[in-house]
A and B are shown apart, each in its own frame.
Chain A
Amino acid sequence: MLKEVRGTSSRRGLRKTARAPQAIRTVVVSAGLVALIVVLAGIHLTQGTSTSGPLDVVKAIFGHGDAQTLAVLEGSRVPRLLAALLLGVALGVAGAGMQSVARNPLASPDTLAVNAGAHFAVVAISAFGLSLPLVPVGGAAFAGGLAAAVIVLGLAGGGSASPRLVLVGSAVLLALQSVTILLLLLFEQETSGLFAWGSGSLTVSDLRATGQMTPIVVIAVVALIAMGRKLDVLALGDDNATVLGLRVRRTRIGAIVLTVALTAAAVTVAGPVGFVGLSAPVITKLLLPIAKHRVLLPVSGLVGVVTVLGADVVLRAIMGSAAAVRVPTGVVTTIIGAVVMVWLARRGRGSGSRRPAPAGRVGVAGSTRRLVLISAVLVALLAVIPVAGMMFGDRVVLLGDLMNWVTGNTGTALTFVLDQRLPRVLAALLAGAALAVSGCGIQSVSRNPLAEPGLLGITAGAGLGAITLITVVPVAGAWAIAGAAGAGATVVFLLVYGLAWRSGLDSDRLVIIGIAVWSAGMALITLLIVVSDPWNSAKALTWLSGSTYGRTLEQVAPVALALIALTPLLWLKHRELDLHALDEDTPRVLGMRIERSRLVILGASGILAATAVSAIGVVVFVGLVAPHLARSLVGGRHGRIVPVAAALGALLVSVADTLGRTVIAPAQIPAGLVIAMVGTPYFILVLWRTRP
Chain B
Amino acid sequence: MRLLTPAVLVATAALLLSACGTTETPTAAPSESAAATGPVTVTDARGKAVTLKAPAKRVVALEWGEAEMVASLGVMPVGAADVAGYNVWDKAVPLTAEVKDVGKRNEPSVDAIVGLNPDVVIIAEERDSPLVPQIEKYVPVVVTKTSDASRNFDRLREDFKLIAKTVGKEAEADKQLSEMDAKLAEGKKAVEAKGAAGTPFLMADAYLEGSTVSIRPFGKGSLVSDTAEAVGAKNVWTGQVDPQWGLGQTDVEGLTAITDPKTMLFYSASEEDVFTTGLAQNAVYQRLPFVVSKKIHKLESGTWTFGGPKSIIFTADQIVKALTA
The answer to whether A210 and B250 touch across the interface, beta carbons within 8 angstroms, is no
Could you show 26 A-B contacts with beta carbons less than 8 Å apart?
A49-B257, A75-B283, A75-B286, A75-B287, A76-B282, A134-B211, A185-B104, A189-B88, A193-B209, A201-B212, A202-B212, A206-B211, A271-B209, A323-B240, A325-B250, A384-B12, A394-B109, A394-B112, A395-B112, A404-B22, A413-B117, A416-B138, A417-B110, A419-B137, A549-B107, A665-B103
Interface string of A402-426 (1 = CB under 8 A from B): 0010000011111111011100000
A117 on the B face (CB < 8 A): no
Interface residues, chain B, with chain A CB atoms under 8 Å away: 1, 5, 8-9, 12, 15-16, 19-24, 28, 85, 88-89, 101-112, 114-115, 117, 126-131, 133-135, 137-139, 207-214, 239-240, 242, 245, 247, 249-254, 256-257, 271-272, 278-279, 281-287
Determine the distance from Cα of A470 to Cα of B22 in the docked complex, in whole angstroms: 41
With beta carbons under 8 angstroms apart, the residue of B105, B134, B256, B281 that contacts A206 is: B281
A67 on the B face (CB < 8 A): yes
A565 on the B face (CB < 8 A): no
3 tightest CB-CB pairs across the interface, nearest first? A550-B130, A538-B106, A75-B284
CB of A646, distance to nearest CB on chain B (Å): 18
The answer to whether A400 and B22 touch across the interface, beta carbons within 8 angstroms, is yes
The answer to whether A269 and B251 touch across the interface, beta carbons within 8 angstroms, is no
Q: Which residues of B contact A325 (CB under 8 A)?
A: 214, 249-251, 254
A126/B279 contact (C-beta < 8 A), A75-B286, A325-B254 known? no
CB of B218, distance to nearest CB on chain A (Å): 13
Interface centre among B1, B208, B242, B249 (most CB of A within 10 A): B249
CB of A85, distance to nearest CB on chain B (Å): 15
Interface centre among B28, B214, B251, B282 (most CB of A within 10 A): B251
Q: Which residues of B contact A192 (CB under 8 A)?
A: 207
With beta carbons under 8 angstroms apart, the residue of B21, B28, B253 that contacts A48 is: B253
The answer to whether B106 and A410 touch across the interface, beta carbons within 8 angstroms, is no
Interface centre among A268, A322, A541 (most CB of B within 10 A): A322
Determine the distance from Cα of A414 to Cα of B88 in the docked complex, in whole angstroms: 33
Nearest-CB residue, chain B, relative to A192: B207
The answer to whether A326 and B212 touch across the interface, beta carbons within 8 angstroms, is no
A239 on the B face (CB < 8 A): no
CB of B213, distance to nearest CB on chain A (Å): 4
Q: Which residues of B contact A541 (CB under 8 A)?
A: 106
The answer to whether A49 and B253 touch across the interface, beta carbons within 8 angstroms, is yes
Determine the distance from Cα of A412 to Cα of B103 in the docked complex, in whole angstroms: 21
Q: Which residues of B contact A134 (CB under 8 A)?
A: 211
Q: Report the interface size class on chain A.
A: 35 or more
The answer to whether A420 and B103 touch across the interface, beta carbons within 8 angstroms, is no
A352 on the B face (CB < 8 A): no
Q: Which residues of B contact A322 (CB under 8 A)?
A: 239-240, 250, 254
The answer to whether A204 and B85 touch across the interface, beta carbons within 8 angstroms, is no
Determine the distance from Cα of A535 to Cα of B245 in the docked complex, in whole angstroms: 10
The answer to whether B271 and A189 touch across the interface, beta carbons within 8 angstroms, is yes
The answer to whether A49 and B283 touch across the interface, beta carbons within 8 angstroms, is no
The answer to whether A400 and B21 touch across the interface, beta carbons within 8 angstroms, is yes
Interface string of A235-275 (1 = CB under 8 A from B): 00000000000000000000000000000000011110000
Determine the distance from Cα of A185 to Cα of B249 in the docked complex, in whole angstroms: 22
Nearest-CB residue, chain B, relative to A655: B8
With beta carbons under 8 angstroms apart, the residue of B131, B249, B254 that contacts A534 is: B249
Determine the distance from Cα of A201 to Cα of B213 in the docked complex, in whole angstroms: 9
Q: Which residues of A contact B85 (CB under 8 A)?
A: 189
The answer to whether A398 and B249 touch across the interface, beta carbons within 8 angstroms, is no
A290 on the B face (CB < 8 A): no
A410/B239 contact (C-beta < 8 A), A394-B111, A666-B111 known? no
Nearest-CB residue, chain A, relative to B251: A203
A377 on the B face (CB < 8 A): yes
Q: Which residues of B contact A185 (CB under 8 A)?
A: 104
Nearest-CB residue, chain A, relative to B272: A131
A314 on the B face (CB < 8 A): no
With beta carbons under 8 angstroms apart, the residue of A76, A203, A417, A535 that contacts B242 is: A535
Q: Which residues of A contact B9 (CB under 8 A)?
A: 377, 380
With beta carbons under 8 angstroms apart, the residue of A391, A413, A668 that contacts B109 is: A668
With beta carbons under 8 angstroms apart, the residue of A391, A535, A552 that contacts B134 is: A552
CB of B10, distance to nearest CB on chain A (Å): 12
Q: Which residues of A contact B283 (CB under 8 A)?
A: 70-71, 74-76
Q: Which residues of B contact A49 (CB under 8 A)?
A: 250-251, 253-254, 256-257
CB of A477, distance to nearest CB on chain B (Å): 11
With beta carbons under 8 angstroms apart, the residue of B115, B126, B250 that contacts A394 is: B115
CB of A180, distance to nearest CB on chain B (Å): 13
A12 on the B face (CB < 8 A): no
The answer to whether A193 and B253 touch across the interface, beta carbons within 8 angstroms, is no
Q: Which residues of A contact B286 (CB under 8 A)?
A: 71, 75
Determine the distance from Cα of A458 to Cα of B240 in the docked complex, in whole angstroms: 36
CB of B219, distance to nearest CB on chain A (Å): 12
Q: Which residues of A contact B107 (CB under 8 A)?
A: 538, 547, 549-550, 667-668
The answer to whether B249 and A413 touch across the interface, beta carbons within 8 angstroms, is no
Q: Which residues of A contact B137 (CB under 8 A)?
A: 416, 419-420
A205/B279 contact (C-beta < 8 A), A326-B249, A666-B102 known? yes
The answer to whether B251 and A76 touch across the interface, beta carbons within 8 angstroms, is yes
The answer to whether B256 and A50 touch across the interface, beta carbons within 8 angstroms, is yes
A589 on the B face (CB < 8 A): no
Q: Which residues of A contact B271 (CB under 8 A)?
A: 189-190
The answer to whether B16 and A399 touch across the interface, beta carbons within 8 angstroms, is yes
The answer to whether B21 and A269 touch across the interface, beta carbons within 8 angstroms, is no
Determine the distance from Cα of A401 to Cα of B24 in the docked complex, in whole angstroms: 7
The answer to whether A398 and B252 touch across the interface, beta carbons within 8 angstroms, is no
Determine the distance from Cα of A409 to Cα of B217 in the docked complex, in whole angstroms: 54
Determine the distance from Cα of A410 to Cα of B24 in the docked complex, in whole angstroms: 8
